[in-house]
Amino acid sequence: MKHGPESLSRLVDELIKLPGVGRKTAERLAFYVLKSSREQVATLATALTEVKEKVKLCSECHSMTETDPCAICRDPGRDKSLICVVEEPHDVYAIERINEYRGRYHVLMGVLSPLDGIGPDELTIDELVKRVSVGGVEEVIVATNPNVEGESTAMYLSKTLGDTGVTVTRIARGLPMGGDLEYADEVTLSKALGGRIRM
Amino acid sequence: MKHGPESLSRLVDELIKLPGVGRKTAERLAFYVLKSSREQVATLATALTEVKEKVKLCSECHSMTETDPCAICRDPGRDKSLICVVEEPHDVYAIERINEYRGRYHVLMGVLSPLDGIGPDELTIDELVKRVSVGGVEEVIVATNPNVEGESTAMYLSKTLGDTGVTVTRIARGLPMGGDLEYADEVTLSKALGGRIRM
């Protein structure tokens, strides 16, 4: 947008910073904004600033919320004896979407990754141990991602929580539904075989 | 984002309205916004609203500008005898980018498209005829897109401007540079042959 109005170039420069947005996409978005009504643009701008102002992390489980503690932690209908550990705040919504899980959550705010300088102290592991130590928790389901970092974080959690006497479980790794044996990678297939259950 | 904080769902709903942005992309963008600093988000929000407030259309050529008339129309170094007609305001920047054209522009604000109810009165054709009639214009280069609507708009312009005595030219249609004869479609190849020039 070297040749366009200055405010248009500035908008394109800001949009390019968004993930997955290159120059062409940014220009297309900017032209769309120009064609939109003043009200539509104002609504988008307000939504952007409000989300930063209103959304905090729950002091209990570290998931995203506008109230503290979050709706899930406050819900007396949720099973207090069950904690599902996930990596990121948005992982909570992935599990909520299946509408089956009735326990609570604990967001680690990342995974162990020594190469990136992320050790146990950078995560909310201490807080998890504290929540479990207080008592009343019977099972911790580790739902970190099934990759190298997620697996090693799961191992670390299992070891760390060992002293508390709580049962630590890991979500099943296997063939995805609708998947094809022929196209499955070796690691997934090995996990699927190892994790077989009686029918 | 059915299960997320309300302000987050609202942002996702607004982002989905953008062209080429689906639910997954909107959620990824919203999480990125959440992770950005308050200043970054404020800059983006300001850029969005400012572009609507500041960018107008040039009363002379209808290209986008913050000042009226636009920088190109005000530039005494630009050739007043030459007008390049384009469909949309952003087409001006495509031509400016090649850094060769020294004439002025005229933005039609669309193309003739009877099926969409867009006739000559919906475009800035009257204004173009007026600009040419005032005198001093020697050539009008029609640079509408090389598709059905663009071609018929070009024909219409050529007929309409016929009475003014101005020379009406059309940008060349042919094989794109770096293109391949083998993969060119028939219409392009026919135009490339018909428009051949002496070497």
User: Which residue bears the tokens 């005198």?
Assistant: B135
Q: What is the pLDDT of residue B144?
A: 92
Q: Does domain B64-198 have CATH number 3.40.50.10420?
A: no
Q: What is the mean pLDDT of residues B48-62?
A: 93
Residue A14: which of B1, B29, B43 has the nearest Cβ?
B43
Q: Do A11 and B50 touch (CB under 8 A)?
A: yes
Q: Which of A71-75, B105-109, B186-190 has the lowest mean pLDDT?
A: B186-190
Per the CB < 8 Å rule, is B7 touching A66?
yes
Test mutation, B2, B6, B8, chain A, max A CBs within 10 A? B8
Average pLDDT over residues B16-38: 91
CB pairs under 8 A between A and B: 145
Show residues of chain A in contact with B42, CB under 8 Å: 49
| Yes or no, beta carbons of A97 and B3 under 8 Å apart | yes
Residues on chain A touching B65 (C-beta within 8 angstroms): 5
Q: Give the pLDDT confidence score for residue A2 in this predicted structure.
A: 61
From A25, A28, A43, residue closest to B14, measured CB to CB: A43
Tell me the nearest-neighbour CA distance from B101 into chain A, angstroms.
13
The residue among A7, A43, A29 whose CA lies nearest residue B56 is A7
Residue A47: closest C-alpha in chain B = B11
Of A31, A33, A93, Cβ closest to residue B3: A93
pTM of the model: 0.72
Q: Which of A5, A13, A92 sits opposite B54 (nearest CB)?
A: A5
Question: What are the boundaries of each domain within chain B?
Answer: 6-54, 64-198
User: Nearest CB to B32: which of A19, A47, A97?
Assistant: A19
> What average pLDDT does the segment B163-179 reach?
88
When pLDDT is cut at 50, 70 and 90, the band that residue B1 belongs to is: low
CA distance A51 to chain B (A): 5
Q: Distance between CA B9 and CA B5 in Å, rounded?
A: 7
**Successive 10-residue mean pLDDT values, chain A, 199 residues:** 80 94 92 91 94 92 93 95 93 89 95 93 95 94 92 94 91 85 84 81
A30 φ, ψ to 5°? -65, -40
Please report the DSSP string for chain B in residue order.
-TTS-HHHHHHHHHHHTSTT--HHHHHHHHHHHHHS-HHHHHHHHHHHHHHHHH-EE-TTT--EESSSS-HHHH-TTSEEEEEEEESSHHHHHHHHHTT---EEEEE-SS--BGGGTB-GGGTTHHHHHHHHHTS---EEEE---SSHHHHHHHHHHHHHGGGGT-EEEE---SPPTT--GGG--HHHHHHHHHT----
Architecture label for domain A6-54 = Orthogonal Bundle (1.10)
